[in-house]
Amino acid sequence: MKGYAFGVMYHDNWKWLKEYRPEVLKLIESKGGKYLAVGNNPQMREGQKQPAAYVLLEFPNLESAEKWYEDPDYQPLLELRNSTGKTDFYIFEGIEEN
C-alpha cells in the first residue's frame, strides 16, 4: 500500500522556501515520492486555526515515507522550515486498491 505525508503549515514568513524547496524535492524523489497537492490558504471546513498552506506527498509505501522524513539530510531542512512557524505533519498508509 502507498504511504502518504500530509502537512498543514502556519507560517507568516516564507523566506525559507527558496532554499527548502529544491533540496526537499530531491529527497522526496530519492525515496520514490511525489507531490500530489501543495498550495496556500486551503478551505478550512473544521478546525481551530486557518492554515496558511498545505502539502500532500505520495510514496510507494509507508516505509519510504518514513525513511524520507527520518533521512539525516532532511533534518536541517526540517529545522529551516520550522524556523518561521509551526507545521502539523502526518505520515500514514493508504488503503488497499482492488
State mean pLDDT over 80-94. Answer: 95
Whether pLDDT at 97 is above 90:
no
| E-strand stretches of 22-98 | 34-40, 53-59, 85-93
pLDDT at 83 over 80: yes
Domain 3-43+51-93 has CATH 3.40.980.20: no
Record the pTM. Answer: 0.92
Helix 17-30 vs helix 62-70: crossing angle, to nearest 10: 140
Indicate the helix (H) or strand (E) that contains 78: helix 75-81
pLDDT in tens, 30-81: 999 999 999 999 998 998 999 999 999 999 999 999 999 999 999 999 999 9
Strand partners, 56: 6, 37
Which pLDDT score is estimated for 57? 98
Burial 70-82 (b: 16+ CB within 10 A, else e): eeeebeebeebbe
Q: Which three cell numbers stand for residue 32?
A: 520514490
Mean pLDDT calculated for residue range 74-95 = 95
* pLDDT of 96: 84
Average pLDDT over residues 6-25: 94
